[in-house]
Chains A and B, each alone.
Chain A
Amino acid sequence: MLELRNVSKKVGNTFHINDVSLKLEKGSLNVLLGPTLSGKTSLMRLMAGLDKPTSGDILMDGVSVVKTPVQKRNIAMVYQQFINYPAFSVYENIASPLRVAGIDKVTIDKKVREAAELMKLTPYLDRGVLYLSGGQQQRTALARALVKDAELVLLDEPLANLDYKLREELRIELPRIFAETGAIFVYATTEPQEALLLGGDTATLHEGHITQFGQTIDVHNKPSDLVTAQTFSDPPMNVIPMQKQGAQFVFSQGNIDCPEDLSGLSDGSYSIGIRPHHLLLSEPKQPSVKVVAPVSTSEIAGSETFVHVAFDDIKLVILTHGVHRVDIGDQVPVYMDPAKFFIFDGENKLVSAPKTGAA
């Protein structure tokens, strides 16, 4: 078990990691989710021992490892860039951690070939790594991490620089392959979809803080606060500030009846969050709230259309399926279903999330 106790990392006057506490179980799959510069890589470097924490303690199976040099820890790490030993062949690359450990040649050969087979590298074993495609280079790095039987496997956005198809393929295979090793598996990503696909547990990071840690589905469906909700939504969750006055939420475009189970909330400022795919451009069957706003941008991505509208300094993104033509400046009606609302209080803490299944 890897345990981080109030770990902070300060560089100059800025905190790269600010008071992080985490417990990661053996054999678990953990996702670090956060935008760029949220501290994912910094946190991984601390876990690996490449950097020393400014304060706090890191324990492996109850023993502090802060002072243990990297070489003595049994870890594996894969970077976003394809990092291999350029002077070595694929075989030598995969074998290198075993060779350094002084394992006998027969065992090394067996393990290298197994790992190469899993990563579909068998035909390239004798090639220099620089003569491989990006995907093959990254698979070499992954095979090297796999072959080591490390206690802690750290993957820092390993699939970010790969092409779409390969990413899909490895995303499904990786957790399965590493689950068999029984290692603590940590996977950093910027993409909420990737976190959902991987499953397991997710820790959302924001400016060096862990905003929430729990089962991936739970974090997605019941984010503890607005920041977590925005981190775990792509494109980011739409936020509309509203005032609760008696039995109604009031905002510039109208009133919304307060759901019955929230009638106990005190009056004041609230933020309503709603995911882009829950905003509709055509009137649904369920009762919903309608806002009319001018289109500021519209972009077509694949078979989806993102429509950006703005009213009263509030920007909304609507994700619609299918390719639609929407002209900039058009006034469009936007429908939102109050059942899909995330409601955050004045301190941005979650007070109500959509019922399970509705998110």
Chain B
Amino acid sequence: MESTTKETTLLVEGALRQTNQMKKPRNFRWFTPSLYIFFLMLPIYWLVNMSFKTNQEILSKFTLIPENPTLSNYVVIFSDPSWYNGYINSIIYVVMNTVISISVALPAAYAFSRYRFLGDKHMFFWLLSNRMAPAAVFVLPFFQLYSSFGLIDTHIAVALAHCLFNVPLAVWILEGFMSGIPKEIDETAYIDGYSFPKFFIKVFTPLIASGIGVAAFFCFMFSWVELLIARTLTTVDAKPIAAIMTRTVGASGVDWGVLAAAGVLTIIPGALVIYFVRNYIAKGFALGRV
């Protein structure tokens, strides 16, 4: 750990010296951000570190870098269907949910942004108030309802259940982006002869593309990290990875290394998605109202 900080320190100092050669040579502006980043990255580093160790090393000593780096933990995950199916299941229902949420939210957001109708403001607020209840509240009704329709342990069950949270969120984000587009563009398109569907696909969608991206990202993330509903509604065939990770206690105790490797692989999709929408995330958090 010490070596890491020292390295960072040296690097930052070097950079400062290069850019600020004319100014005073010493200051400590680098210190606070470095400290912050250090604590931010520490758990992630430790997870990655563990995933390359053997169970024996994890349990017996404290090492900053794996003594005998091994890929065996990853091999276990990619070769054992009960592990990699978890990822496939998660990805299937997350993508399903994202597609459903966005395609439902697009017309809804357009209506909220362009038309005034009875109770529109209340309904718009009520949409978001759905997010104020913890997921646990909805577990029981969902389970009961899905049991009677034979939907338990299917991907669509989880995808639909997550829509409860994601559709309102997507509507809010998309409405913000849509309201930033002047209504006159719609009218000009109608005057030019565009029918509504043609206008929506050809003219309007490109204008809110970043909004769709951000909304999709949020849907993806919420669905990806949600555990309670996903675990309750599935047993075997659609079991998500997060649920599989919670039951790795075998006869020989907890398999720490494999668990860490699974954790690393769970972070990756989210990190990838964040990378692609990084320029729009701030706008997305402001629900498009920047």
Chain A interface (Cβ < 8 Å from any Cβ of B)? 48, 50, 69-71, 75-77, 79, 81, 83-87, 96-97, 100-101, 141, 144, 148
Can you list 8 residue pairs at the A/B interface with Cβ under 8 Å?
Answer: A48-B191, A75-B191, A77-B187, A79-B184, A79-B188, A81-B182, A86-B185, A100-B198
Question: B194 near A: Cβ within 8 Å?
Answer: yes
Within 8 Å CB of A87, what residues of B? 203, 206-207
Question: B60 near A: Cβ within 8 Å?
Answer: no
Contact A70 B203, CB 8 Å, known A79-B184, A83-B184: no
Bound CA–CA A245/B238 (angstroms)? 99
For the complex formed, measure the closest distance between the CB of B54 and the CB atoms of chain A, giving whole angstroms.
Answer: 55
Bound CA–CA A219/B195 (angstroms)? 41
Q: Which residue of B lies closest to A87 (CB)?
A: B206
Mostly, the B contact residues are helix
Residue pair A76, B191 in contact (C-beta under 8 Å): yes
Residue pair B198, A50 in contact (C-beta under 8 Å): no
Contact A71 B203, CB 8 Å, known A50-B190, A83-B182: no
Residue pair A96, B184 in contact (C-beta under 8 Å): no
Residue pair B188, A77 in contact (C-beta under 8 Å): yes
Within 8 Å CB of B187, what residues of A? 48, 50, 70, 77
Q: Which residue of B lies closest to A83 (CB)?
A: B184
Bound CA–CA A199/B96 (angstroms)? 62
Q: Which residue of B lies closest to A77 (CB)?
A: B191
Residue pair B207, A96 in contact (C-beta under 8 Å): no
Question: B67 near A: Cβ within 8 Å?
Answer: no
Q: Which residue of A lies closest to B193 (CB)?
A: A100
Bound CA–CA A69/B187 (angstroms)? 12
Chain B interface (Cβ < 8 Å from any Cβ of A)? 182, 184-185, 187-195, 198, 203, 206-207
Residue pair A148, B192 in contact (C-beta under 8 Å): yes
Residue pair A71, B194 in contact (C-beta under 8 Å): yes
Within 8 Å CB of A141, what residues of B? 188
Residue pair B191, A86 in contact (C-beta under 8 Å): no
Bound CA–CA A71/B187 (angstroms)? 10
Bound CA–CA A76/B188 (angstroms)? 8
Contacts A85-B189, A100-B194, A100-B198 supplied; 13 other A-B pairs, CB < 8 Å: A48-B187, A50-B190, A70-B190, A70-B191, A71-B190, A71-B195, A76-B191, A79-B188, A81-B184, A83-B185, A85-B203, A86-B185, A87-B207
Bound CA–CA A85/B191 (angstroms)? 13
Within 8 Å CB of A81, what residues of B? 182, 184
For the complex formed, measure the closest distance between the CB of A46 and the CB atoms of chain B, giving whole angstroms.
Answer: 13
Within 8 Å CB of B203, what residues of A? 85, 87
Q: Which residue of B lies closest to A75 (CB)?
A: B191
Within 8 Å CB of A77, what residues of B? 187-188, 191
The 9 lowest CB-CB distance pairs between A and B, nearest first, are A87-B206, A97-B192, A100-B193, A70-B190, A83-B184, A79-B184, A71-B193, A77-B191, A83-B188
Contact A101 B193, CB 8 Å, known A86-B207, A87-B206: yes
Partner of A96, one of B182, B190, B192: B192
Q: Which residue of A lies closest to B206 (CB)?
A: A87
Bound CA–CA A75/B190 (angstroms)? 10
For the complex formed, measure the closest distance between the CB of B282 and the CB atoms of chain A, giving whole angstroms.
Answer: 21
For the complex formed, measure the closest distance between the CB of B206 and the CB atoms of chain A, giving whole angstroms.
Answer: 4
Bound CA–CA A302/B78 (angstroms)? 79
Q: Which residue of A lies closest to B209 (CB)?
A: A87
Within 8 Å CB of A71, what residues of B? 190-191, 193-195
Q: Which residue of B lies closest to A79 (CB)?
A: B184
Within 8 Å CB of B193, what residues of A? 71, 97, 100-101
Bound CA–CA A50/B183 (angstroms)? 11
Bound CA–CA A141/B206 (angstroms)? 19
